[in-house]
Structure formats: structure tokens, C-alpha cells
Structure 1
Amino acid sequence: MTNTNMTMVEELAEWTAQLQWTDLSKEAVDSLKGRLLDSIGVAIGALDGKPIKAIRQMTDDLGGNPLVTLIGGGKTTPDYATFYNGAAIRYLDYNDSYLAKEETCHPSDNIAPVLAAAEYNKISGKEFLLSLGIAYQVQARLSELAPVRKHGFDHTVQGAYGAAAGASRALGLAATGIANAIAIAGTTQNALRVTRTGTLSNWKGLAYPNTAMGAVHATLLASYGITGAREVFEGNKGFMDSIAGPFEIDWSKENLERVTDTIIKKYNAEIHSQSSIEGILEIRNNQQIAAQDIKQIRLATFDVAYNIIGGGEEGEKKTIKTKEEADHSLPYMLAVAFLDGQVMPEQYETNRINSDDVQQLLQKVDVQVSDEYSNRFPQEMACRIEIETNDGTIFSVEKQDYEGFTTNPASWDVLLKKYYYLTKNIDKQLADKIATTIQHIDEIEIIELTSLLGQVRVLNGGV
């Protein structure tokens, strides 16, 4: 039973402090390793991106006590390292997702803050995985119970609680310190959804790294005895009162299994597009259709996909000039998938985005919402794609999921294939060592992994 003498953040802190390695199931451990491999590959693949280079330059210019490793070499403070490494994990928009009915988040965004705290505290790989599992669980459950998108706030809001819980556990704080860390982070990290509406900017990929940096900063403050608002959830003008509305959760009864419900991106595209991209590629690969013969591409999809990337409530999606706009536009992603036979980082290069063929084809994409498919989300990612040619012939496919979804999960071998594609521009032996180290992370100390990440160098340009 919930202790009525404790606030909700204190209950969360007690749960966080008391968890043990044995509370992680084998399935959860395997899932955490898979998400770690996937995210490190994505981060390495992003190192040559312009915003990542800019953040690296800023980090080098500002300096900082060299305590925590930067992916690609060098060290800085735990909070700065969290922002840089988190930006690398997030920039390509190719890391994992968790689907709740009214909120979607990317729990692997928590890897950077938990890894920074873990290296700073020199803990074991087992303790790192446990701390990461805590972050996953907290963010996922709050996304389910307390969605904020409909109130104009970003999905990173719930992440502040998860990142602080995971980082404070990795830093070895007692329950009192954990409560303060979560309270400070939750009070301060409340981002606006405008980040992902209208004309998109670099901040789309940097909002969570900023939240995570704030959570690590909050955790460090708590480690020095700074206190936070203990009624951050239920208090006057707190999270419930100001943003989410009332909800209940008994943290003492929570497990660490939500990571097993996360999904992997098969294509380098916004998560709700994955089944539709797989579908249009099936038509492309099974039929001989010339792009100039296409009259219209029609997609019927679920409401969340339509509203975020299909031209619904978060803005029209046919004026596409930048990477950030392209990877959040179903018309662009379907058009470029048909033309190129894939959607990978190359499909977001400026020259590709502005090419006449893809700009013309994306104007022929029509996206509509289906009540039936909406009712089946998030248990399914259902959609129907039709391509009508100029002579009136219609080719169609219906999808319920894709390879990487909960009903069709990606195996370690599938994740390795993606990882090696993204790390093809670093030393192959080093890439092998990193993958093997992650597979056995529960048998070693965390600094064995961070040492390898510090040796990464991009050869011959980025992905």
C-alpha cells in the first residue's frame, strides 16, 4: 500500500532506492542491451552532423572539469557530457520509442544522463542497466498516465522525472537525495510542444538532451544537499494542477518491464511512419511503377500519425526544406522511400530534400485519418497505402505493424545490422569491441564501455 504520509515524489524515490539487480527480468536486461546498442550506433552515425559539430565546438570552447567521456573523444562535466552525448543519440531521430495512447516518447534519450552519472560514480554495468531500467519505467508510465501533449507541452516533460530517477540511482543517492533530484528536475523542465509544430528547428532533436542535462544538474545539486519541492506532483500549482491533471500510481507495485514494450525504428523516420514506409516499400519492390506514372499516393493512418506528421493539428507537411521538417513529414518520407528504396540518413541531406523529383512526388501524397486504425493504436500501427497510376490502376497494401514493433520485435542480429550500417565510418575493430562490450555490459564495469566510446573517430566523413 502507498504510504499516505509520503508525497508522490518521496514514494517514487523510495522505490528507486530499493530496487535490486534481481528485479530486472532476463527479458528486460536483453531489451536494455538492445536499446543501448541501437542508441550508441545512432549516436556514432550522427557525429558528423552539423548541429552535433556545433555543440561539440561549444563544449570544447567552454571547457569543464574532464570527468565524463564524450562519444568521439574528450571529457567534460557530467551535465555537459549529457547534453552532447544525448544530442548525438537524438539528432538522427532514429532511436527507440514507447507508444502510449496519448503520448509517444523516446526512452533511450535517458541513456546519456544515466551513462554520465554511472561513469562519474564508476559503477558496474549491472548497476547501470538497473538505473537505466528505472528511467525507462518512470518515463513510460508517466507517459501513459499523465500525457501532456494535448495541453501544449512536450513529451520531454515526463522524461525529466525518469532521467533524474535513473541518474540519481546511478549516482548512488539515498532516497532523500533521489526525491530532491526528481523534484528539482520535474519543477524546472517543462518544455512547450511548439518544439514539434509548425516550422521545425534544430531544437526538435535537442529538447530532450536539454531536459536530460537539467536532470543531471538537478541530481548533482541534490548530491550536495540542495532540496526540491516535495509536492511537485500533487501540490498547489504542481505537475497535476498546472499541466497533466490528476492521476494515481502506486510506485511500490511497479516493475521494470516497460522497456520490453519499447519499439525500434527500422527506418530513419519519425516513429509513427514506420509501418507506412514498410508498406510503400513493399508495393515498390513488388510492382514496376515509374514515379512519373503516379497520379496519387493515398495513406489512411491512425490519428496520432496524422496529427503529428500527416498534416493534422501540428501543421501542414508539404513545405519541406530542412532535415527536421523532412523527418516529420509523411508526404516527404513516403515519397523519398518510393524513389530511393530506403529512408536512411542520406535521405535527409539538403540536396536530396530539395531535389525536384522528391519535391514533386510529395505533393501527390494524401494523408487521411482512419477511426478504425486510430482505435487499434497503440496495440497496432495500422495503415493502408494506395498508389494510383495515371491509367487508373490501384496498388495497395494494409499493414498492422512492421519489423521492430512489439508484435514483430527486432532481434539482436537485426539490431547489429543497423548498428554496423551506422558505424561504417569508424574503425571496424573498435565497432566490434563496442558491440561485444554492450552485449556483456552486465559482466563488466561501465568505464570499460565509456573508454571505448572515447576512442571513436569518424573516418572519411559521416554516414
Structure 2
Amino acid sequence: MKVTMDQHHAPTEVQSLAQFVADASLDTLSDTALEQLKIRVLDTIGVAIGALDAAPLQEIRTLIDGLGDGRGATLIGGGQASPDHAAFFNSALSRYLDFMDAYLAKGETNHPSDNMGAVLAAAELADASGADFLTAFAVAYQIHTRLSDVAPVRDLGFDHTTQGAFAAAAASAKALGLGVEQIANAAAMAGTANVALRVTRTGDLSHWKGLAYPHVSKEGVFDALLASRGITGPAEVFEGNKGFKALAGDFELDWSAEDLEKVTDTIIKKHNAEIHSQSALDAAQDVRSQEGFRADAIASVELTTFDVAYSIIGGGEEGDKRSIRTKEEADHSLPWMLAVVLLDGELNPAQYETERIVADDVQDLMHKVTITPSTEFSDRFPEQMCADLVVTLGDGTQFRANTDDYEGFTTHPLDWTGARKKFDALTSPFAEAELRDEIADLVQDLENHQIRELTAVLAHVPQARS
């Protein structure tokens, strides 16, 4: 069915979404939202650069180079590829470390920064301004988060990338400068074709955990390009017979009432770990700092937390989390993450080296961890991320810490200084101070530059650590 903006008929829901996207303007963002959006651009670039030498990313880079599919968009670390392949690679970089931002809805968790690779590629292809890029990126945040608010699909067995497909395609179309009808077609095609299975994040985790959204980014850009050539998608992708609402259930979302402020409701990771672990890992650091604590004398570790953390990373409905051999398994295992923080005092990329993942001390301590969900804590989620940690030593001495947020949470948002500190820590092995300053300064003033100024600088980042 062709998506058309017929003046004699009420617009379909995807057409209303497309009108919202077409009307979106950077001028409508509050100063706070604009600053937080730029912080997320810097944060996403930082975690992407930090993954440049990861083995899976090197293999993907070799594959893309071998395809020889031409030019159009810049790869972080240098080189060019078709816009859809650039979107895949750059999104994979920003996703691999699992150190990016997140949004917590009551029944869904997603990572809106996953859309940056798609928006960046589309904006560069269109020779867009930095303001155009930021507007499209803000659009992606709004669509991804709002659909997760009203139409969660995790409990139905589907992945959060499902809602993201609408965001990636619509935001890519916005960055390309397409009109309302083309935006609607792009979102309709991507939303129809990318209903993904939650098995991506259950049981024994594979590389696909970090590549599921890069796939959506790739498809979002390609569908926007198809729409630019007049290719159409299902006009009733949401409300039609066997449309998205048949999967997610009925919901109402008035796109004409939406703004671009949801970026301020997203959170940034302090620890290199799955988002629901952040407050628990802060508690572990607190315990470790208390006088008399000895990691080598721990007899038991008891964590009480909210149900989503227990279900996804604590050994609940999404599978046992104590058979840990790979990075993908480790960064989604709360027992392993608590163990390594109690031992090392931190959880950063260095902790995900294979030798550290399988080391006897962390493997042994992981099996002393017990995680229990609390109804009270669950009721306070997502406004709070409650964690109550009790560590008992062999002689019976107990250490306790509890918290309900962390630096980077909505109640304690990251500022530019904090974002720059994280950015420098991740990128300093790859980029000298002068290059780091150039990237950060461009991002901070991005609305006054062309997006190709940023991609040109990102091309100068070495692909290997110095």
C-alpha cells in the first residue's frame, strides 16, 4: 500500500510521525536538552573510538573494505564505504564496548545513541550542517524512547531494536532532508522489516548482542535511500491489519504533541557494564572502600535489587549468568561484574580482556554472589535504580552499601566536564591530546559547523593504539 499524504483522508499513524519529523527544528530544544544531546554525541564517539582495535570490529572492517562498495560516508578511523555499510560499522563501534547511554521505560530498555551511526552517515551523504545532524539525532531519541514508553515488546519475546527501526529510518530520512511522504515510507519499511527476537540477549550471548542495532542502523539508512527514490512502505504499519499494534498491543501516541526533550531522560553509563548494573557496581565500590574490607576474605555477596536487573543480568528469566567465558557474557552477568569490581575496584575495558574474564579469583567469587529481586525496589524503577549490597567476610564481618542512582543517572546527570573525562579515558590510547581536543571542540560547537568537518576529523583517528 502506498504511503500518501492524501488531504481528503486522515493521516495514518506513520504519516503523523513523519510530519513530526519533518517539522522538527533544533531551535525548539531547550538549552539543557541541546547540551545533553552534545554530551551524548561526544560520549558515543568516545566509546566508538575505544573499540577500534576490538577483534570483531577489525573483522567487520576487513569485510567492508573487501566488498569495495564505493564511497559516500566516512568510517571512524579512516576510509570510506557506502552510507549503509558506514552506518553499520560506526554503530558497531559505538555499541561494542557496551559503554553507551540508555533509556529506561517501565517495560523496555534501549540505547538511543545506537542511532548515531545511521544519522551520521545520512547527514554526511547529504552534506548536512551540524545543526541538521543534531536535529535528526534528537528526533531519533524522541521516537525511540516514546515508542518504548507506550509499546514495550521485551516481555513478548522481542528485542528493543524493534522500536529502534522506526527511529533509525525516520532520523536518517530527516538527515537526508527528505519530505513527509518519504520519511513515512522509510519508517514504514524499516518498522515492518526489523521485528527482532529477544533471544539476542538471553542464554549464551553471541557477537550479535552488539551487532543487532548496527544492523538496524544499516537498514534504516538504506530504507531512507529507497524512500528518496520513491519506494513505498505500508501506510498502516502501526494500526493496519497485522501491523505493529497486533504485536505490541494498542497504544496512543500523539506525535503533534511531541517535543525533542526526551534526551534529558536518558542516562549515561559510569561503568563499562549493562545499564541495570550501574547502581549495584557503585555500591560495590563503596563496600570496597570501607575500612577493613578484604576481597580475598569474602565468604558471600548478597545483592537486593529491582526485578528488571534480576531478570536480565542477575540470573532470572533471561538465563543463568554464572557460565562466563566471553566479553558478551561478562558484560551481561551481574554476578561476574560485582565480583570483578569487588576485586579490582573498577569495571572498564581492561577488565574484559580474556585473561581477566576467566581468572580464578573472579570466577570463584562470582559463585559466591546471590541476587534477589525486591518488590519495593521494583516499584521504584525506573525513577530509581535501587541496590542494597551486603558483603560478608569469612570471620563474619559485614560491609553494607545501598544506593538508588549514580553519576550519569537522571537525578545526577553527566556534565560536559564529566563527559570529557570519560571521553579522554577511552580515546587516549588511540588519539593524542590535540586530536581529542579538536573532536571535543567541534562537538561542543557542532551547530555552527558542517557535519563533514566532524567526519573528516574522525577519519584521522588511528585504528590501533599508539
1:164, 1:287 → 2: CA distance?
52
Instruction: Give the equivalent residue in structure 1 for 2:187.
Output: 182
Aligned to 1:227: 232
The whole-number CA distance in structure 2 between the counterparts of 1:180 and 1:393 is 63
Residue in 2 that maps onto 1:323: 327
Cα offset for 1:386?
0.4
2:248 paired residue number: 244
What percent identity do the matched residue pairs reach? Answer: 54
Aligned-partner SS, 1:297: strand
Partner of 2:263: 259
1:415 pairs with 2:410? no
Structure 1 counterpart SS, 2:50: helix
Runs of 4+ in 1 over 6 A off after TM superposition: none
Q: Which residue of 1 aligns with 2:155?
A: 150
Partner SS for 1:31? helix
Give the count of matched residue pairs.
458
- Pairing 1:204-223 to 2, within 5 Å after superposition: 204-223=209-228
Is the 1:164–1:181 contact (alpha carbons within 8 Å) kept by the matching residues of 2?
yes
Counterparts of 1:301 and 1:283, CA distance in 2: 16
Counterpart in the other structure of 1:294: 298
Match of 1:337 among 338, 341, 358: 341
SS where residue 400 of structure 2 aligns? strand
CA–CA separation in structure 1 for the residues paired with 2:27 and 2:358: 52
Q: Which amino acid aligns with 2:362?
A: V
For 2:234 and 2:47, locate their aligned partners in 1 and report how far apart those are by CA, in whole Å. 36
Deviation at 1:459, TM superposition (A): 4.7
Structure 2 alignment gaps of length 5 or more: 1-7
8 A Cα contact 1:200 1:324, kept in partner: yes
How much has 1:458 moved relative to structure 2?
3.9
Q: Secondary structure at the match of 2:256?
A: helix
**Aligned pair partner of 2:171 in 152, 162, 166:** 166
Q: Is the 8 A contact 2:53 2:465 kept in 1?
A: no
For residue 434 of structure 2, what is the aligned residue in structure 1? 429
Residues 172-213 of structure 1 deviation map (CA, whole Å, 9 limit, x = unaligned): 110000000000000001110000000000000000000111
Cα displacement string for residues 120-152 of structure 1 (whole angstroms, at most 9, x for unaligned residues): 001111111111000100000000100010110
In the alignment, the residues of structure 1 paired with residue 137 and residue 123 of structure 2 have an alpha-carbon distance, to the nearest angstrom, of 10
- Scaled by the length of structure 1, the TM-score of the pair is 0.98
The alignment status of 1:276 with 2:286, answered yes or no, reads no
Once the two structures are TM-superposed, the CA of residue 392 in structure 1 deviates from its matched residue by: 1.5
Aligned partners of 1:79, 1:353: CA distance in 2, in Å?
A: 34
Query: Secondary structure of 1:61's match?
Result: helix
Cα distance in structure 2, aligned partners of 1:414 and 1:332: 26
Letter in 2 for 1:100: A
Query: Structure 2 CA distance, aligned partners of 1:184 and 1:82?
Result: 17
2:401 to 363, 385, 397: 397
Equivalent residues of 2:293, 2:399 under 8 A apart:
no
Counterpart AA for 2:409: F
Tell me whether 1:36 sits opposite 2:41 in the alignment. yes
Unaligned runs of 5+ in 1: none
Q: Using structure 2 for the length normalisation, give the TM-score.
A: 0.97
Report the residue type matching 1:74 in the other structure.
Answer: G
Give the distance between the partners of 1:20 and 1:168, measured in 2 at CA: 14
Letter matched to residue 53 of structure 2: D
SS of corresponding position for 1:396: strand
Find 2:196's aligned residue among 191, 197, 219.
191
Counterparts of 1:106-125 in structure 2, within 5 Å, are: 106-125=111-130
> How many angstroms does 1:4 deviate by?
7.0
Secondary structure, counterpart of 1:206 in structure 2? helix
Mapping of 1:439-458 within 5 angstroms?
Answer: 439-458=444-463
Given that 1:291 and 1:361 are in contact with CA atoms closer than 8 Å, whether structure 2 keeps it comes out as no
CA contact (8 A) 1:318 1:329 kept: yes
CA distance in 2, matches of 1:287, 1:210: 48
Q: Which amino acid aligns with 2:132?
A: E
What's the CA shift for 1:429? 1.1
Identify if the C-alpha distance between structure 1 residues 225 and 356 changes in structure 2 by more than 3 Å, giving closer, same or farther: same
Q: 1:4 to 1:348 in 2, by over 3 A?
A: farther
2:143 to 124, 129, 138: 138
Cα deviation, residue 290, structure 1: 2.0
2-side partners of 1:105 and 1:194: how far apart? Answer: 15
* Aligned mates of 2:159, 2:25 — CA distance in 1: 31
Give the equivalent residue in structure 1 for 2:19.
Answer: 14
